[in-house]
Amino acid sequence: MGYQNDYLNLSQVYHPDNSLIISDDDIKIINVKFESLFADNIDAKSIHCSEIRDIFLQDMAIETNRNFTYPVILNKEQAEYSEVIVLFHGLNERSWKKYLPWGKALCVKKGCPVILFPISYHMNRSPIQWSNPRKMMPMAKTRKEQNQDLSEGSVVNAAISNRLNEHPERFLISGLETYFDVLHLTDMLSKGVHPVLNQINTVHFFGYSIGALLVQILMMTHGEDRFSNSKAFLFCGGTTLDKMHGASRFILDSAAFEALKKCYVSNSFELQTEDFPYKTRYKPEVQMVFSSMMNSEANNKFRNSALKKLQGKVQVCALEKDDVIPAKAVKETFKNALEDLSNAVESIDFPFKYSHVTPFPYSGNQLEVDNAFDMVFNKAAGFLK
């Protein structure tokens, strides 16, 4: 049918609160309920820093983040599967519209289900007012008034910018929650207790933008045990935080991104995951892995060693004109870790105007965009075997 047609058709019929099966000629989409157990498995009293403890308790009270649905895309004709792909989106995303055709392409080309899993406080895990331009306008205006040098501020990124500017520690806390949510999800899949899918033997990952960072951390900590048979395809992602340029009207404003860099790159990072003693499945090295992916100059030997273990298990596709996560920075992250760098990390370009946020624009030459989309997702489906 083509990427642009799939985008229009699927975005018109999909809604995260729709409990019915949504289908087209090739696939069906089922929304599955999920409860995050992160808050239940953390003893808030164990968080030594009172300010961090207050942030944790405040955010854990956001009900939409705790109980939500996620879409599972399945081939309409198949009933039994042994593999699944979990797809992660980018930072400050509020809608699955962009990713429904991505998920469909992976499902059809790979022949297995695709789970679109939301990062905490994103998609339908965030309060609805964060996506309302009218309600976000006063916050965006206030941020500009308080910081005359602010750039890239908008109603689209006001909520997340304000949260991370105020407390950049939320970046780690929300990342930890998603990390453990994914472990809970994969437990359900491997044990055969998922409400839609039968027992799954292998979980593969597709990570885009900040979702690629999440995939790297999952694979670097569990690539030799839980995900020993897994593969990961990273698209428009793969580098350390200090090499990203995250100030964008669609992602973060300049003040929020500088606050992140100051917390995790410039300063000595003090917030320890040991303050979050998750009751089950906790691996202490997740702190080391996270820190190594923040600053390219810190813990580089550890990072290279951890990434080296992913040789043959990770494929990276960067875009030449990506100004948020530059292709050059992605290659630099992997160059001292992977022996076969040229095959593992590829930089490509498209013959049309695109961006990090919109790699496949919904206007312009439809044939060129459809061909570029097919090229990327043929690569992804071919690797995730």
Locate tokens 């609160």: which residue? 17
The reported pLDDT for the residue numbered 239 is 95
What is the model's pLDDT at position 210?
97
Residue 54 covered by a domain: yes
- Under a CB-based contact definition with an 8 Å cutoff, are residues 252 and 260 in contact? yes
CB 219 within 8 A of CB 230: yes
β-sheet with 22-23: strand ranges across: 22-23, 27-35, 67-75, 114-116, 83-88, 202-208, 232-235, 314-319, 345-348
- 341, pLDDT greater than 60: yes
Rounded to two decimals, what is the model's pTM? 0.95
H or E element in which residue 232 lies: strand 232-235
Domain span including residue 349: 3-127+168-242+295-383
- Matching residue, tokens 């990090």: 356
Closest CA to 85 of 208, 209, 232: 232
Which are the contacts of 349, defined by CB distance < 8 A and separation ≥ 6? 319, 320, 321
DSSP symbols for 167-202: -TTHHHHHHHHHHHHHHHHHHHHHHT--SSS---SE
Total domain count, the chain: 1
Residue 236 Cα distances to 134, 321, 356, angstroms? 31, 10, 7
For residues 236-262, give the mean pLDDT. 96
Token digits of residue 155: 């109603």
pLDDT of residue 165: 96
The band of 36, judged by pLDDT with boundaries at 50, 70 and 90, is very high
Asked if pLDDT for residue 87 goes beyond 90, the answer is yes
pLDDT at 275: 62
Burial environment of residue 186 by CB neighbours within 10 A (0 to 12, 13 to 18, 19 or more): buried
pLDDT mean over 222-230: 92
Coil, helix or strand for 107? Answer: helix
Is 191 inside a domain boundary?
Answer: yes
In a domain, 137, yes or no: no
Tokens 């530059």, residue located: 326
| CATH number of the structural domain spanning residue 350 | 3.40.50.1820
pLDDT digits (tens, 9 = 90+) for 281-302: 556 678 889 989 999 988 889 9
Pair 104, 27: CB distance under 8 Å: yes
Give the span between the Cα atoms of 28 and 147, in whole angstroms: 47
Whether 91 is covered by a domain: the verdict is yes
Enter the tokens of residue 156: 């689209």
Q: Is the pLDDT of residue 84 over 70?
A: yes
CB-CB neighbours of 348 under 10 Å: 13
* pLDDT computed for residue 282 by the predictor: 57
The reply to whether 277 falls in a domain is no
Cβ of 41: how many Cβ atoms within 10 Å? 16
Residue 273: the pLDDT is 59
Does 89 have pLDDT greater than 60?
yes
- Give the mean pLDDT of the chain: 92
